[in-house]
Structure 1
């Protein structure tokens, strides 16, 4: 709500198609996508684990977004920022 109140375009549970060798094999759902630029992935876990970081990197690879923020609101709040430049993405 706060992001929208600031005038930003926010999409919740945005579907991201997943491809393998040019064939659609499934889909992800990103928690929040802001201005089609930043993916926010929200967690409530004891800590951030590598699987969460890999998840957001996969989201970045499947979109035109280059920046992802992983926010954990668990026991000890923490965050990670991930960047995956569009120039490194393989487009099929």
Structure 2
């Protein structure tokens, strides 16, 4: 692995869990199905995660009523956003970037189980 990657070992383990879910289930299911399967796989592989964790949003120092709720946070430092769509859009990508900004976490992984013929994984850094 390249030494300039942030959290390479953790990312490798998460990617492996995603590949396992896709190998087992294939394409065609909805996002909640993949989320449940990935949670089960993360647990089986001993990867620590929190699902649907709420993060507060601020505006000029004031806390907003709305929160950001990423699908998963792994290792207390990597945001995981799941989709099950044929193609990712810039709006999808912006969601992950905004989650990173809102949480001040450094790495986000966008996992698309709806892509054929394999799971699509994109990395995003909070710079």
Class of the TM-score when normalised by the shorter of the 2 chains: 0.7 to 0.9
Residue 5 of structure 1 aligns with which residue? Answer: 44
Q: Give the root-mean-square deviation of aligned CA atoms.
A: 1.4
Normalised by the size of structure 1, how large is the TM-score?
0.82
Cα offset, 1:47, TM superposition = 0.5
Q: Is residue 67–residue 82 contact of structure 1 (8 Å, CA) maintained in 2?
A: yes
Q: How many pairs are equivalent?
A: 85
Unaligned runs of 5+ in 2: 1-39
Q: 1:20-71, CA deviations, whole angstroms, 9 ceiling, x for partnerless residues?
A: 1111222011100001111110001121100111101111111142110001
1:15 equivalent to 2:54? Answer yes
Structure 1: which 5+ runs fail to align? Answer: 86-92
Distance in 2 of aligned mates of 1:59 and 1:75? 22
Point out the structure with max Rg over C-alpha: 2
* Structure 2 SS opposite 1:4: helix
Residues 1-92 of structure 1: matches in 2 within 5 Å?
1-25=40-64, 26-76=66-116, 77-85=119-127
Per the normalisation by structure 2, the TM-score is 0.61
Secondary structure of 1:14's aligned partner: coil
Bigger share in strand: 1
Q: Greater CA deviation, 27-36 or 56-65?
A: 56-65
- The 2-side partners of 1:81 and 1:12 are apart by 19
